[in-house]
Amino acid sequence: MAVLVSVLLAFHSAVPNMAAHLGSLLEAFLPWVGLAVPVLLIPALLRRSALALGALALPAATWLVLFGGQLLPAHRGAAHDLTVVQHNISDENPDPAGSARSLARTGADLLALEELIPAALPAYEAVLTPVYPYHAVVGTVGLWSKYPLVDSRPVDIKPKDLEADWNRGLRSTLRTPHGDTAVYVAHLPSVRIGVRGFSSGRRDESAVALGAALAAEPLERVILLGDFNSTLDDRGLAPVTSRMTPAESGFGFSWPAAFPLARIDHIMTRAATPTDTWTLPATGSDHLPIAASIKLSP
């Protein structure tokens, strides 16, 4: 069992995705595979087996190689040019105005929101606009900024089998003292775990479309914010993660807010440097907001 756990951790990409997307399912919760180590430690101690105890060093070491860096303390306060916040505010949020006030108090320069339903939009606009005079909304995603936003437009990341009014992609140009930066906000389709396994086909198709948009982006510097409905380890997000640098200091689990198990909300950059990232206190959403500081200048 210790060897099997080590193999799953070290060679997770070899687990096939052909049947029920089991590879993506494993990768979505990969850090939690390490819990097998303390579980296996109990029978090893009960049997007083030196061999079993020695074998457990293998998965423990593998986990530390993969994720040990996430346990190191963050270097908060490093030099940066922007602070950005990403938040799926939930289409069932019972207190949109309260959530907006919480986000406004962060002092961030840029806010990206998903599940921004029409009924809640006026509440967010009323609270955020005095602090963030520039904003753009496409479908159910929005962007609020302290710096000017120009050339805002939809990004087509819709899977082919969904209706035409499904709009969850936004691209805008952020005018900063350090030059123009392309900012993308995306909310990839949800995934489901059921009797047929891990249903991520639509999410994967949307990731391919987003990756293509990023590849075609003419501006060198890019900031990408969104709810990607999986972790950075998930191969389904490779069309996006292979082109971007994620802000990933610490585990930063963002979902579900009541007991976070996975980080499915992400902030990524191209030709810019994330210097730190952290989670923020819960709002009325089932996701936690995440924040990152970003250095735009060389």
Say whether both 62 and 105 belong to one domain: no
Residue 253 near residue 242 (C-beta atoms within 8 A): no
- Residue 133: what pLDDT? 97
- Helix, strand, coil content of the chain in percent (nearest 5): 35, 25, 40
Q: Considering 21, 36, 71, which residue would you say is the last residue of a domain? A: 71
Q: Is the dihedral of CA 241, 258, 87, 75 positive or negative?
A: negative
The 3-state DSSP class for residue 96 equals: helix
- Residue 196: what pLDDT? 64
Say whether both 120 and 238 belong to one domain: yes
Residue 229: CATH number of its domain: 3.60.10.10
Say whether both 236 and 136 belong to one domain: yes
Among candidate residues 111, 109, 112, the one with its CA nearest the CA of residue 81: 109
Distances (CA, A) of 105 to 32, 99, 242: 33, 10, 33
Residue 146 near residue 85 (C-beta atoms within 8 A): no
pTM of the model: 0.89
Residue type, 56: L
CB proximity list for 5: less than 8 A, separation 6 or greater: 33, 36, 37, 40, 59, 62
The length of the chain in residues reads 298
Query: Residue 60: which domain range?
Result: 2-71
Q: Considering 52, 71, 90, which residue would you say is the last residue of a domain? A: 71
Say whether both 129 and 249 belong to one domain: yes
89 conformational bin, left if phi > 0, alpha if psi -120 to 50, beta if neither? alpha
Q: Considering 71, 102, 126, which residue would you say is the last residue of a domain? A: 71
- CA 211 to CA 222: how far, in whole Å? 12
Say whether both 92 and 154 belong to one domain: yes
pLDDT tens, residue order, the chain (298 aa): 999 999 999 999 899 887 777 888 888 889 999 999 999 999 989 988 899 899 999 999 999 999 988 877 666 667 899 999 999 999 999 999 999 999 999 999 999 999 999 999 999 999 999 999 999 999 999 999 999 999 999 999 999 998 888 999 999 999 999 999 999 999 999 987 766 667 788 999 999 999 999 999 999 999 999 999 999 999 999 999 999 999 988 888 999 999 999 999 999 999 999 999 999 999 999 999 999 999 998 7
- Residue 283: what pLDDT? 97
- Residue 121: what pLDDT? 97
Say whether both 125 and 272 belong to one domain: yes
Q: How many CA atoms lie within 13 A of 21 on its CB side?
A: 22
Q: Is the dihedral of CA 284, 287, 288, 291 positive or negative?
A: negative
Residue type, 214: L
Say whether both 105 and 236 belong to one domain: yes
Q: How many domains does the chain have?
A: 2
Helix and strand numbers (H, E) in the chain are: 8, 14
Partners of residue 226 on adjacent β-strands: 186, 266
Say whether both 109 and 207 belong to one domain: yes
Say whether both 130 and 204 belong to one domain: yes
Residue type, 42: I
Is residue 281 in a domain? Answer: yes
The 3-state DSSP class for residue 2 equals: helix
b/e map 102-124, b = 16+ CB within 10 Å: bbbebebbbbbbbbbeeebeebb
Residue 43 near residue 52 (C-beta atoms within 8 A): yes
Is residue 288 in a domain? Answer: yes
Strands 245-246 and 197-199: unpaired
End-to-end CA distance of the chain: 48
- Residue 23: what pLDDT? 87
- Residue 158: what pLDDT? 96
- CA 202 to CA 104: how far, in whole Å? 33
Is residue 76 in a domain? Answer: no
Is residue 133 in a domain? Answer: yes
Is residue 77 in a domain? Answer: no
- Residue 17: what pLDDT? 80
